[in-house]
């Protein structure tokens, strides 16, 4: 297979029982950057497609070449299959591998083999996992920020479009399997949006900014759906304890059980494919997607159901990370890479890095995209975002307003505390960060930042 790929004189798609490979032997494809999926396809309207399009945008907009990056689509995540895919990309002269999805890091699957394969030859960028080698950038997403934006967008949209019942707007959320840094944090940010709204609903400037009727703000109670807080990390009012489709009936039943919850007007499942369960279980509630713009994924099957999605900023994080690999940051053929990326992307993304302190604790510091430093061997923390336009009920104009009022910088400060104090510090006794104190700390940090930010940022 290796000899075949290297000898091809034209760009060809090759299918085997193990992989689908696009070989980059002509000018149509740019073979120095390769994406390896974790068994998905590059047109999955999710992680793989977003990363593929980002790599291609880097080539076209930053390098100035009208080409697409190469890709390999393994048909399974078996270790041998994944390693063969990485080796094939290397054989095809790849300098940088893009690795969307945590399966590239999981033991018994990708197992961080890509960085080892590329050692002394290039670097890897693993999206949604930590770095495990000196030639690898780990891109970690602040899902709590995405959750906050999605929650606030849902509150404002619902109040302006009569999406509430008996003067109560109920926001529900549930996780698949509890994980502080990739499931529970989405829900903390989401619930914090309720606290923040309730602290601002008597602020005339806030209501006017988002066209919320003062009488509606006064009479409509905005609350979380569940009556209490989780007593354990597998409580079935909050978790389905699975990510498999069809496995969320119990938690959905509990969200409609009046002794446990107020039936949600808006529901955010942080449970992978169980978004499908939520859509089919009850057609009256609106839905929030997670990770990518899921309104586009479901199409007509979920028309007018998605307000927004709590998105991970895959596109911008991929592009700025590419610019901070040794292969591209110091590339003599393209000397203006860093300058172009800083000019075009600095205002689109908020990044931080974790710094260990002498006492063994850690803190987060902002990253300057303009600085000429390699990010390999470290984790880059990426701020969250929300979907708008297209098939989403949330339009672009309102999304922009929300981000201008609740700036990425302010939300990053709240997220830093969540990770430093709780996720990397002390988890509440219930075993999950979905608890009163973490949510209150998150909300209060945002409110405190609103008091200090320039008025122009809130207009």
Determine the longest span between alpha carbons in the chain, in angstroms: 72
pLDDT score, position 7: 32
> What is the rounded end-to-end Cα distance, in angstroms, of the chain?
59
Q: Convert the pLDDT of each residue in 59-81 to its tens digit.
A: 999 999 999 999 999 999 999 99
Q: What is the DSSP string of 55-78?
A: HHHIIIIIS----EEEEEEES---
Q: What is the DSSP string of 366-402?
A: E--TTS----TTEEEEE-EEE--STT-SS-HHHHHHH
**Taking the model in full, what pTM does it have?**
0.83
**CA angle at residue 157 from 48 to 236, to 5 degrees?**
65
Residues recorded for the chain: 459
Query: What are the phi and psi torsion angles at 33 (to 5°)?
Result: -125, 125
CATH second-level architecture of 2-129+315-382? Answer: 3-Layer(aba) Sandwich (3.40)
Could you check whether 2-129+315-382 and 143-312+385-458 share the same CATH topology? Answer: yes
Measure the CA–CA gap between 17 and 75, rounded to whole angstroms.
Answer: 7
The answer to whether the beta carbons of residues 125 and 98 sit under 8 Å apart is yes
Measure the CA–CA gap between 457 and 205, rounded to whole angstroms.
Answer: 12
The structural domains of the chain, with segments of one domain joined by +, span 2-129+315-382, 143-312+385-458
Per-residue pLDDT averaged across 47-64, rounded? 96
Of the options 3.40.50.150, 3.40.50.300, 3.40.50.2300, 3.60.21.10, the CATH number for the domain spanning 143-312+385-458: 3.40.50.2300
Per-residue pLDDT averaged across 52-65, rounded? 97
Q: How many Å separate Cα 307 from the centre of its chain?
A: 17
Range from 19-23, 43-47, 199-203, 354-358 that averages highest in pLDDT: 199-203
Confidence check: pLDDT of 254 > 90: yes
The answer to whether the beta carbons of residues 223 and 170 sit under 8 Å apart is yes
């Amino acid at each position: 297979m290796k000899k075949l790929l290297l000898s091809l004189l034209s760009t060809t798609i090759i299918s085997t029982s193990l992989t689908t490979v696009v070989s980059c032997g002509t000018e149509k494809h740019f073979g120095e950057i390769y994406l390896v999926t974790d068994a998905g396809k590059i047109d999955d309207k999710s992680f793989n497609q977003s990363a593929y399009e980002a790599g291609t945008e880097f080539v076209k907009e930053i390098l100035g070449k009208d080409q697409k990056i190469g890709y390999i689509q393994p048909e399974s995540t078996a270790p041998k299959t994944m390693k063969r895919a990485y080796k094939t990309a290397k054989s095809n002269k790849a300098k940088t591998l893009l690795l969307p999805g945590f399966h590239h890091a999981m033991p018994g699957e990708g197992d961080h083999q890509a960085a080892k394969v590329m050692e002394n030859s290039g670097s890897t960028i693993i999206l949604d996992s930590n770095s495990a080698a000196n030639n690898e950038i780990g891109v970690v997403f602040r899902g709590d920020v995405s959750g906050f934006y999605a929650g606030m967008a849902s509150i404002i949209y619902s109040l302006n479009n009569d999406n509430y019942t008996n003067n109560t707007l109920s926001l529900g959320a549930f996780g698949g399997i509890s994980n502080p840094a990739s499931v529970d944090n989405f829900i903390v940010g989401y619930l914090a949006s309720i606290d923040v709204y309730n602290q601002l609903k008597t602020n005339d400037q806030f209501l006017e900014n988002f066209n919320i009727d003062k009488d509606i703000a006064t009479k409509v109670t905005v609350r979380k759906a569940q009556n209490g807080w989780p007593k354990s990390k597998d409580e079935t009012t909050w978790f389905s304890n699975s990510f498999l489709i069809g496995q969320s009936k119990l938690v959905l039943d509990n969200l409609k059980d009046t002794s446990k919850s107020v039936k949600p007007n808006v529901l955010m499942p942080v449970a992978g494919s169980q978004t499908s369960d939520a859509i089919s279980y009850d057609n009256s509630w609106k839905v929030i997607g997670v990770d990518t713009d899921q309104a586009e994924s479901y199409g007509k099957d979920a028309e007018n159901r998605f307000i927004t999605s709590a998105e991970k900023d895959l596109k911008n994080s991929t592009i700025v990370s590419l610019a901070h690999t040794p292969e591209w940051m110091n590339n003599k053929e393209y000397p203006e890479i860093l300058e172009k990326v800083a000019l075009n992307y600095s205002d689109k993304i908020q990044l931080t890095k974790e710094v260990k302190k002498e006492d063994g604790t850690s803190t987060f510091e902002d990253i300057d995209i303009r600085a000429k430093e390699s990010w390999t061997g470290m984790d880059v923390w990426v701020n969250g975002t929300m979907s708008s336009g297209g098939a989403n009920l949330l339009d672009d104009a309102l999304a922009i307003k929300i981000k201008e009022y609740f700036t990425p910088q302010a939300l990053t400060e709240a997220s830093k505390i969540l990770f430093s104090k709780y996720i990397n510090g002390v988890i509440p006794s219930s075993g999950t960060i979905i608890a009163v104190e973490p949510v209150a700390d998150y909300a209060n940090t945002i409110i405190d930042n609103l008091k200090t930010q320039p008025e122009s940022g809130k207009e």
